[in-house]
Chains A and B, each alone.
Chain A
Amino acid sequence: MKIVVAIKQVARLQDSFKLHSNGIDVDPADLQYDLNEWDVSSLEEAVQIIERNGDGEVIVISFGSEIVEESLRRCLAKGATRAIRVWSETVDRTDPLSVAHALAEALKNEKPDLIFAGVQSSDTVYGATGVALAEFLSLPHVAVTKKIDYHPTESSATVLRELEGGLLEEVNVKCPAVFTVQTGINEPRYASLRMIKQAEKKPIELIELGNLDLRPQARIRRMFLPQGKTPEILKGNVTEIASQVAKIIKEKTA
């Protein structure tokens, strides 16, 4: 059994940050990188399915420069069997359709039974890469899954999709298929020290794609700060702030 898990290393903005002078990005010094939270859940789901099956492999794949290898290694430490990094000069890694296209190219010969992706990434929140990946691979897909019961002998899966307002929809889907996985589907394991050390020694395969025949991508032309409401700032020490909050509460509930 082979499950591919597409992961993303996401960027997190520091509490106080500056926009870049180029007007289309933030100051790179203000960014920290992490493995995308949704991908932690989808990796765990894949590892659990392989464990229940008795054997098989979980392959993690990610698009990016060498920087993303840190996240790939974290996945190896959390139970992935092997890792692939995909790179192409012509692909803009913030554009979900281009990334999906690149991942599909890299996975052309892999023939997995299942493919998982996170519902969305925490930095750009497109929620599109997994579904677009399914399209480029011509595979069925189900988005926002909360529970996956895979039936390998029937080449199908019974899945719960999370809808708005706490509703769940049950669907049956033909496999191989792509699932985008929602957080809360499982409790992800921590990587043990032994697994972390083992992961450090594992090779990461690099697939470098030549100029993909990509149609032009979306492009950022301006980045700026959102104009939110300006709240009234409650000042003073914690006791003073609490007293102001209490006053507001008593006024509004009178």
Chain B
Amino acid sequence: MSGILIVAEHRSGEIRDITLELITAAAGVKGSAGKIQVALIARDPSKLISVINREAVDEIITVTVPYDEFNIDVQRQVVEALIKQVSPTLTILGNTINSLSYGPALAAKLGLGFASDVIDLKFEGGALVATRQYYGAKVNVELEFPGKSQYLIQLRASVYPPADGSGKADLRSVDVSIDQSQVRVKHLGIQKPLASDVDITKALFLLSIGRGVGKQENIQQFEQLAAKIGATLSCSRPLVDAGWLSNSRQVGQSGRTVKPKIYLSLGISGAVQHLMGMKNSSTIIAVNTDAEAPIFGVADYAAVCDMFELAEELAKQF
């Protein structure tokens, strides 16, 4: 077996950015793993070919499926068939919600070396070494897969840059017949978030609060502070889960991705899914009582102090 198989991600007729990041990651290990093949599984794959035809791509494999939207059971049947046909050393998926819905199942079924949320890939002595994080991203670990010669990796988004350059990939199409008796999930519809009066993706200055706020009653102090300093209030996931703020104010993978001029975070430790949503802000000021909080790893300025005391003092400055 040899080669790298990338499964392209797309939604609503558009290739998602992560697909181009997977190509960059694959290019980094091409010397060890072999040719790069990108699989396009869609109702009309032809429309998506040009976007993924990047310099590093050797072959694009299209599979036509009779579905507009992603279906877990259809996707895994197709990817399984491709893995069996192509026999790649390395299969790379994005660490996205759709991919994590079937990646581990395929790895389990086919006995592949598996790791998700991977941030770095390399080969040593012909074997894969994958880097990921433990303990809430406070430490990095290098994983090896003894006895495995084929791997399935889910790569974290926004770590590798998107691939560029135009390629001259070979094109071929593969027919996969879907076993309908094994399609046990049926797509019914997509619900968009309710329109809201606040669009945090347009704010130039975000004041973002996290679990450190403690209680719903404490939020008011930060709403007032935001108004005083000219910021829009945003938050991390736990405050939305608790029902204290609406999802429209949530920064992170399942909320919004923001790139304001200033991101001032108070009491947010920096879970990976949160960092994904704000790490490209121009200036990040992070405030947390935990000096090891992962958010400091993406911040420009760090303040290890109490968010309530800081808020009180900061308000006096405006």
Contact = CB atoms under 8 A, between A and B. Distances in A.
Nearest to B113: A218
A159 B105 CA distance: 20
Nearest to B276: A164
Contacts of A163: 97-98, 190, 254
Contact of A12 (B108, B116, B135, B313): B135
Interface in B176-235: 184-193, 204-205, 229-230
A216 B145 contact: yes
A245 B310 contact: yes
B140 A226 contact: yes
Contacts of A13: 135-136, 138-139, 292
A216 B310 contact: no
A173 to B, nearest CB: 5
A6 interface: no
Contact of A234 (B102, B229, B237, B303): B303
Interface residues of A, number: 83
A219 B128 CA distance: 12
B193 A223 contact: no
A249 B262 contact: yes
B14 interface: no
A141 B102 CA distance: 9
A165 B309 CA distance: 33
A248 B301 contact: yes
A167 B187 CA distance: 14
Given A172-B185, A228-B298, A252-B283, A141 B254 contact: no
A128 B116 contact: yes
Given A97-B107, A122-B136, A136-B108, A222 B142 contact: yes
B148 interface: yes
Contacts, number: 270
A167 B193 contact: yes
B57 interface: no
Interface SS of chain A:
mixed
B15 interface: no
B286 interface: yes
Interface string B88-101: 00000001111011
Interface SS of chain B:
mixed
B90 to A, nearest CB: 14
Nearest to A251: B283
Contacts of A158: 188
A212 to B, nearest CB: 13
A11 B243 CA distance: 27
A253 B285 contact: no
Contact of A222 (B113, B141, B290): B141
Contacts of A168: 190-191, 193
B29 interface: no
A174 B184 contact: yes
B317 A231 contact: no
Interface string A144-182: 100000000000001011111111111111100100001
A170 B191 contact: yes
B254 A124 contact: no
Given A97-B114, A131-B100, A239-B313, A249 B205 contact: yes
Interface string B241-284: 11100011010011111000110100000001000000000111
Contacts of B187: 169-171
28 contacts: A12-B135, A97-B108, A123-B136, A125-B133, A128-B100, A128-B103, A128-B114, A132-B105, A162-B97, A166-B193, A166-B250, A168-B191, A169-B191, A170-B190, A172-B188, A183-B238, A184-B242, A216-B147, A217-B146, A218-B144, A219-B143, A222-B141, A226-B138, A228-B294, A238-B309, A242-B310, A244-B301, A246-B229
